Chain A
């Protein structure tokens, strides 16, 4: 109650002094009316005190009722300081222009600030692909989509945040700490991970038991971890080597002429959340969920960037039957081969790839013979008994 009453005095105070009448009654009346008074004192038949400018007229009226002749003294505080300038119309115009300017400037991105381990040359093209550059309207930016894109496209990205502070877009990217390779000391052999012809070998530790140009089967010993010291002693060492072998693999791919696929092109269900600081408040009743749907997120800023609206979008999968021409089937097969190479052969060098197409009744089949080169060394611990 104390602070509530004192808040009146924050705007300013008026000193008053009163002479004659029933001063004790005036003090009682002021107490009863709940008017906040400060420094009320009685000296030489006068009452002195301070009240808020908003309560002065009420105080004066109470003083008159109790026969006290009241007089206002020193006025101080924010209320009186502002009162001095209230006739200056230029101040109001300036304030209005200032607010307008701030509001207009905050609607577009005027600066992009990079934090964390973000390299502008690496981040800028990704942001531009998301439609974010200087001059972009802030309300058009989908922040969560940009964050997801950064997470996917920045190598080693562990955490990404895109936010707006006024007209400045802040992009923060942090990369994860790479786990250092821990060199073991346990004795081990190196065997072939697959059947291949040895092209080259680099043996750092251990004794090589194969020669370049020789063929090996999967599981054959390549580098031994058991080494003789020239005398009668045998040493068990942690062998280490890179053995490059060449080998072939055949993979088959098939694309039908007719196929039923599930595409996220159905009805959309949207659920909005208000984000304020780290808190998220749902703007709907019930649970945000839709069965057999693709989930995506959109985030937009509101109220000059002070709050965010996150929209969770559930797009229903619908079954669609598609018909392909032979040419479309071939281009689809080529895509499949490309994806397979990216996913499974990124650690190998593809020397040759020979494609053989087999048209069938219901689609086109392709058999691809890959000739690959890569490290076939596979460490195997030596079991000591």
Chain B
């Protein structure tokens, strides 16, 4: 459509290549909240495991009982007693900085 449109689309793509993960511990209880931005896909989920696909990595969260909420497009919040968070590379564009 034009140079400006292409640049804007490019900017959007650059921002979606980064994913910020925030872990928030909720005081004395074992409950924790994990915020994941730019989540592209829910790969698998059940009561104990949720695997999310972000750009460049898959995030596997284990815990019990895990509950999922969203905020905005691509923003996911997971609550529950979090046991572990694992990262593994996937084939999509991007890299993992742990």
Contacts and interface: CB of A to CB of B under 8 A. Distances in A.
B75 interface: yes
Contact of A24 (B39, B40, B43, B69): B43
B61 to A, nearest CB: 13
A34 B43 contact: no
A38 B71 CA distance: 9
A1 B68 contact: no
A357 interface: no
Nearest to B53: A28
A65 to B, nearest CB: 15
Contacts of B91: none
Given A41-B66, A43-B65, A23 B71 contact: no
Contacts of B29: none
B90 to A, nearest CB: 14
Nearest to B72: A1
B67 A2 contact: no
Interface residues of A, number: 25
Interface string B17-48: 00000000000000000000001111111110
B67 A41 contact: yes
B95 interface: no
Interface in A14-73: 23-25, 27-28, 30-43, 49
Contact of B44 (A6, A24, A36): A24
A269 B96 CA distance: 70
A24 B47 contact: no
Nearest to A25: B42
B73 interface: yes
Instruction: Name which of B46, B68, B70, B75 has the most chain A CB atoms within 10 A of its CB.
Output: B70
Nearest to B42: A27
B14 to A, nearest CB: 19
A24 B50 CA distance: 10
B47 A42 contact: yes
A36 B45 CA distance: 18
Given A5-B71, A36-B70, A37-B70, A27 B45 contact: yes
Contacts of B70: 5, 30-31, 34-37, 40
B46 A43 contact: yes
A2 B43 contact: no
Main SS of chain B's interface residues?
strand
A1 B71 contact: yes
B76 interface: yes
B69 A31 contact: no
Given A37-B68, A39-B69, A23 B45 contact: yes
Contact of B76 (A31, A35, A38): A31
Contacts of B10: none
Contacts of B43: 24
A40 B68 contact: yes
Contacts of A25: 42
Contact of A31 (B46, B47, B66, B74): B74
26 contacts: A1-B71, A4-B72, A5-B71, A6-B71, A24-B43, A24-B45, A25-B42, A27-B45, A27-B68, A28-B40, A28-B41, A31-B42, A31-B76, A32-B74, A33-B73, A35-B70, A37-B68, A37-B69, A37-B70, A39-B67, A41-B66, A41-B67, A41-B68, A42-B46, A43-B65, A49-B68
Given A30-B70, A35-B70, A37-B69, 17 more contacts: A1-B71, A2-B72, A23-B45, A27-B42, A27-B45, A31-B42, A31-B70, A31-B74, A32-B73, A34-B72, A36-B70, A37-B68, A38-B69, A40-B69, A41-B68, A42-B47, A49-B68
Interface of B: 39-47, 65-76
Q: Closest 8 A-B residue pairs measured CB to CB? A: A1-B72, A27-B42, A40-B68, A34-B73, A2-B71, A42-B45, A42-B46, A43-B47
